[in-house]
A and B are shown apart, each in its own frame.
Chain A
């Protein structure tokens, strides 16, 4: 690269870093500010006084209705929902993805499309029928506001995604490997378990992480189906802090930092799996 090109590249990288880091800086410093400093004028670009109070508030004074009470319920519900969704989608998605990659099933293109489409569907289109089914037809089951209901709804749009990614991964693994194992006397299921599954570990990781991120991130479904404090998950907890009369930006920012830690760790440690997972399905979607 000549000097001029290097200058522009350096400028571009610097701008990209500022654009990325400035909002993150604001979120983190806001979470460390006192309430007075959070809306002081002029704005404290560098906090004069750093406090951990906003974080401690989520772990102290646990009593019904307190911030920490709602936080712990939200954390527990969020983890239960996201991890259950991962287990269900990963298990069934892997099996279905393998079948679609290996067998020449009549109408498999249509099946692929159905699975992909179930992920791409607007969530709002499923919310209304689900709501009616839950409060009217299945009212005796008392599903409204439960973790089970949210898990089922998360599965509705993550399962198809899991099938789609896993099919792409299995198609990239030569079928001859499984055939060789079958000739050596393994069953087909054994060939899947012992040959292809270990080779598809990156795909399994990618699927698990993407499904986790999708479930952890959703806002519309808890907004409609889990509006009471014991049913909150992390997204709705953060929304509830941002109330109409309370503008405690420092508290909201602290909760935001905590809710961002699991997905940020995932992305930093496994980012490459996620990217390859998303592109795996591009073998003629």
Chain B
């Protein structure tokens, strides 16, 4: 995977591509179709979502045609949500899902990248195989893990584990009751953050599909780091951890920021695996928004939830960009 441009090529504007003095007609003609499409398909609907989130809006649909009925309620949708324990538990569950997944990706993902970067026989084949799960469509991944975590005795895990001398073969893996409910402090805390056996099972299933792309992006980053750096550090007596901490990690900064931003957005808006395997049992934010709008018909509240998802994603993106680019400069 050579030739990955990771360095910005900032140069003086070319004399042929000056916007003000040159022919701006061409530039505008090529740019406008995309701008119009994004305006029509993203910006207008997004502003509409914002407006809806300040309304008490319902849609009555009969035979594919519908009518929006709505009136202005100010911040009441947001106030309703932020004082609603069901919504707040879903918010915490989303944050737990996000934090646990990111933690796995940053540890196991980086570890996998290092393993794939070693030189060993059959490396090409191993790399190809490890990449496959990322190609499996999300819905197939969800139904596959539904078969693995099936609570009946014919579920894959329930069939396999007893043969290895583990478990009783009747575990309901997707059960959403809290783990360790009777352990003091820890039990209530796990319940509060929305950690349950089912939630952890979904995290594992989701990571099976996403770890490969994290590992391969990090691997691409590792391949751009010159080997001399490590040799020089080794001669100076740096431990493997020091080499990782002071060479690898800082130089992976730009790649990690891409990984973190892309993955955070995907995790905060995760829908398919929850909807397929847990229906509405774990009301993470996307499920909550879907439920408000398409089960209860509250399009106003649903839009407010959608906007909260967007704000959370933006907040994290902002943190990553500040933190990682500062680290790179320092």
Interface residues of A (CB under 8 A from B): 9, 12-13, 16-17, 19-21, 23-24, 26-27, 30, 38-43, 45, 92-93, 95-96, 98-100, 102-106, 111, 114-115, 118, 120-133, 135-136, 139, 142, 144-145, 152-153, 155-157, 159-160, 163, 168-169, 171-172, 174-175, 178-179, 182, 188-189, 202, 213, 216-217, 219-220, 223-224, 234-236, 238-239, 242, 249, 252-253, 256, 259-260, 263-264, 266-268, 271-272, 275-276, 278-285
**Given the complex, which residues of B lie within 8 Å of A132, measured CB to CB?**
48, 52, 57, 59, 66, 68, 299
Interface assignment of B208: CB less than 8 Å from any CB of chain A? yes
- A26-B156, A242-B143, A256-B143 are known contacts. Are A129 and B45 too (CB-CB below 8 A)? yes
Among B11, B38, B66, residue most surrounded by chain A Cβ atoms (within 10 Å) = B38
Known A26-B148, A43-B154, A260-B135; contact A279-B255, beta-carbon cutoff 8 A: yes
Bound Cα distance A185, B302 (Å): 57
A129 B52 Cβ-Cβ under 8 A: yes
A75 to chain B, nearest CB (A): 13
Contact with A along B8-38 (1 / 0, CB 8 A): 1101011111110011101100110111011
- Assess the A115–B38 pair: CB atoms within 8 A: yes
Cβ of A129: which chain B residues have Cβ within 8 Å of it?
44-46, 48-49, 52, 303
A156 to B49 Cα, complex, angstroms: 15
Contacts of A16 in B (CB 8 A): 112, 115, 126, 130
Q: Is B276 an interface residue (CB 8 A)?
A: yes
Give the top 8 A-B pairs by smallest Cβ distance, nearest first. A43-B159, A172-B5, A156-B41, A96-B34, A122-B269, A135-B66, A125-B306, A129-B48
Cα-based distance from A281 to B61 in the complex (angstroms):
42
Q: Which residues of A contact B79 (CB under 8 A)?
A: none
Among B83-91, B174-182, B257-265, the stretch in contact with A: B257-265
| Docked-complex contact A280 and B4, CB < 8 angstroms | yes
Q: Is the CB of A163 within 8 A of B34?
A: yes
Task: Contact check, B5 vs A189: say whether CB atoms are below 8 A apart.
Answer: no
Query: Are B19 and A104 in contact, CB atoms less than 8 angstroms apart?
Result: yes
Given contact pairs A17-B129, A105-B27, A144-B64, A275 touches B220 in the complex (Cβ within 8 A): yes
> What is the distance, in angstroms, from B296's C-beta to the closest C-beta of chain A?
13
**Interface 9-residue window, one of B95-103, B228-236, B307-315:** B307-315
**Hey, which chain A residues are within 8 Å of B30, CB to CB?**
95-96, 98-99
A135 and B153 within 8 A (CB): no
Nearest chain B CB to A96 CB, angstrom units: 4
Assuming the contacts A12-B115, A242-B143, A279-B220, asked whether A175 and B313 have C-beta atoms less than 8 A apart, the reply is no
Q: Mark B136-147, 1 if CB is under 8 A from A, else 0.
A: 111110011111
Contact between A39 and B154, CB atoms less than 8 A apart = yes
B129 and A271 form a contact (CB under 8 A) = no
Task: Tell me if A239 and B139 are in contact (CB < 8 A).
Answer: yes
Residues of B within 8 A of A20 (CB): 129-130, 132-133, 208, 212
> Does any Cβ of A come within 8 Å of B190's Cβ?
no
Residues of the B chain whose Cβ atoms lie less than 8 Å from the Cβ of A96: 30-31, 33-35
A26 & B33 in contact (Cβ 8 Å cutoff): no
The 27 listed contacts between A and B (C-beta, < 8 Å) are A23-B133, A23-B145, A26-B147, A43-B156, A121-B265, A122-B269, A124-B290, A124-B306, A125-B289, A127-B290, A131-B299, A139-B64, A153-B41, A156-B42, A156-B45, A157-B42, A168-B5, A175-B17, A178-B14, A179-B15, A213-B135, A220-B272, A235-B139, A259-B137, A260-B135, A276-B1, A285-B321
CA distance A43 to B150 in the complex (A): 12
Per DSSP, are chain B's interface residues mostly helix, strand or loop, or mixed? helix
A171 contacts which of B9, B48, B317 (Cβ < 8 Å)? B9
B129 touches A21 (CB 8 A): yes
Most B C-beta atoms less than 10 A away, residue of A126, A135, A279, A285: A279
Which chain B positions have C-beta within 8 A of A102?
14, 17
> Closest CB of chain B to A45's CB: distance in Å?
7
What's the Cα separation between A30 and B118 when bound, in Å? 34
Docked pose: A232 CA to B212 CA in angstroms: 29
Q: Bound state CA distance, A128 and B50, in angstroms?
A: 11
